[in-house]
Structure 1
Amino acid sequence: MQSIYHQALGSEFHRLHPEMQKKYGLTSKQNLMALGQGRMTEIRGMNPLLRPFLQAGVIDHLIFGERGKNVPFTLENFAYQDDQGRETVSWIRRFFFPYAIRGFDASMRYDEEKGTIVDDIGKSGALQVELDLHVTNEGGLFMKSKGMTYQGKVQLPGPHTSVYEHYDEEKEEFHVHVHVEHPVFGTVLMYEGTFYTEFLPMTYSNIPERGILV
């Protein structure tokens, strides 16, 4: 079985750094999860006067208004089959601010008809974006969204998101840079930092309510 990222990238998948291949090669058959732990060097973006409006997305783990530097961070990637039997990979991000823990979550799957990754954003997954994937010269992965829809039907003038991740062999750590930009308000959220990843056994307690182990 090929991972959803392998399916989307095709032969380009093998150009990824071996550590990136290991992480992005996870499938539900392996019953493994990738646990990333590190720190975001800086979390910035959005006019301070507008940040309170972002709190509306906190409950669904869509967005948050806190900003800071050297923020502890965790990322859980695990592959499972959702309630429709589709191979899916979680992106459960946690940012540990001094007075709050914020989430920025999503689940990704490969759409065979569209030939691309679909990103269901937030805990509800009601907002969806399609992603373009490219392997960089240094074996990193660049992902960029192509618009946003509500439940895959209603087109929304939402922000565009880009994610760049690569592996540093010398420091043996992953580097990530995420940029969420709105066509009107500009940068809504931008964060970058480093984290280490370990692979752990999956259990049913790890799986979202909509998913199953196979």
Structure 2
Amino acid sequence: MTAVYRTALGGDFDNLHPNLQWRYSIDSASGVAQMVSGIMDSVYCSPKLPGPVKSFHRRRHSLAIRSSRLVPFEQGNYCYRDELGRECLAVLRTFGFGPGDQYLNSVLVDDPTGLVDYFGDGPEYLYPITPSVTVDGGLLLETGPMRWTSTVGPNIGLRGLLELSMRYREWWQDDEDRFRCEAVVTNPIIGEVFHYRGWFTAVDRPCTIGDIPDEAWPLRLERRTH
């Protein structure tokens, strides 16, 4: 088995900082999950985003819809092979807002067409992901426009008010001995829709297939990747 980012980056994976190589080397045969904890210095959701859209994303765990600072953050990374034999990395994020936790879940899939990130519990949305390594050994993820994964008919590329693109960067902060990250989702009409940025530490924990939480498995198997 090969970790999804090692497959996607190929030989460039070895140019990642050693701590990022460790972080992204787990796969479905590793027998571990990776548990993250830290603080997001800033979490932001645009007030221009329509209320019904926010409510839908919150229910489907595809967006945190509050804005705040110094937000406690936890994340679990779980690897498995899905029913189609594809290597998957499920990422379950929890933002600890004062009024109550909010969640942002996604599943990265190593597909022959490339790396794809399915967002939410459905999954209703997918991002085609282009990963690269920055000059300081960080990981950069850039997406094409989000697509709607309908259960019938063709997938729909979202445009206009519904068009969303994401940029995620993660790197190692030597002076603080921890990871840092920043994620930004943008729309060509309203600009910045969502962001989170802050720091975290990570540890591996033993994990069997039976230990993987239900939330790591999409409610339905999505075969489509584009």
Normalised to the residue count of structure 1, the TM-score between the two structures is 0.91
Render the CA deviation track for 1:106-160: whole Å, top value 9, x for unaligned.
0001122x2x210011111221110111100111000011112222722222210
Cα distance in structure 1, aligned partners of 2:133 and 2:45: 26
Shift in Å, 1:50: 4.0
Task: Kindly provide the amino acid, as one letter, of the partner of residue 104 in structure 1.
Answer: L
User: Structure 2, unaligned stretches of length 5 or more?
Assistant: 219-226
1:207, distance to aligned residue in structure 2 (A): 4.3
Who is 1:64 aligned against?
Answer: 64
Distance in 2, Cα, partners of 1:3 & 1:167: 20
| Residue 55, structure 1, aligned to residue 55, structure 2 | yes
Distance in 2 (CA, whole Å) between partners of 1:149 and 1:180 is 14
Q: Which has the higher strand share?
A: 1
Alpha-carbon separation, structure 2, partners of 1:9 and 1:163: 15
Whichever residue aligns with residue 161 of structure 1, its letter is M
In the other structure, the counterpart of 2:223 is none
Q: Which secondary structure does the structure 1 equivalent of 2:59 belong to? A: coil
Q: Which residue of 1 aligns with 2:198?
A: 193
Please name the residue that 1:120 is paired with: 118
Q: Equivalent pairs: percent with the same residue? A: 24
Structure 1 residues without counterparts, runs of 5 or longer:
none
1:38 and 1:184 mapped to 2: Cα distance? 32
Report what 1:154 is aligned to: 156
Question: Could you tell me which residue of structure 2 aligns to residue 96 of structure 1?
Answer: 96
Counterpart residue type for residue 31 of structure 1: G
Number of the residue aligned with 1:136: 134
d(CA) in 1 for partners of 2:76, 2:93: 7
Conserved? CA contact 2:86–2:111, under 8 Å:
no
Q: How does 1:157-172 map to 2 (within 5 A)?
A: 157=159, 158-172=163-177
Aligned in 2, Cα 1:52/1:126: closer, same or farther, shift over 3 Å?
A: closer
Amino acid at match of 1:106: S
Which range moves more in the overlay, 180-189 or 5-14?
180-189
- Residue 12 in 1 paired to residue 17 in 2? no
Q: Distance in 1 between matches of 2:37 and 2:89?
A: 18
Cα displacement string for residues 36-67 of structure 1 (whole angstroms, at most 9, x for unaligned residues): 100000112413x6463412211110113211
Match of 1:179 in 2: 184
**1:76-109 per-position Cα deviation (integer Å, ceiling 9, x unaligned):** 1111112222110011100000011101110001
Q: Give the secondary-structure state (helix, strand or coil) at the position aligned to 1:58.
A: helix
Paired residues of 1:52 and 1:65 also in contact (CA < 8 A): no
The structure-2 alpha-carbon separation of the partners of 1:51 and 1:74, relative to structure 1 and needing over 3 Å to count, comes to farther
Quote the Cα distance in structure 2 between the aligned partners of 1:210 and 1:91.
10
Rounded Cα–Cα distance in structure 1 between residues aligned with 2:142 and 2:63: 17
- Two-structure CA RMSD over aligned residues (Å): 1.7
**Residue aligned with 2:103, SS:** strand
Task: Find the aligned partners of 1:143 and 1:76 in 2 and give their Cα distance.
Answer: 19
The separation in 2 between residues aligned to 1:81 and 1:207, in whole angstroms, is 15
CA contact (8 A) 2:45 2:65 kept: no
Alignment length (residue pairs):
208
For residues 121 and 102 of structure 2, what CA distance do their matches in structure 1 show? 13
Q: 1:99 to 1:207 in 2, by over 3 A?
A: closer
8 Å Cα contact 1:51-1:65 kept in structure 2: no
Cα distance in 2 for residues equivalent to 1:74 and 1:67: 17
- Aligned-partner residue type, residue 37 of structure 2: Q
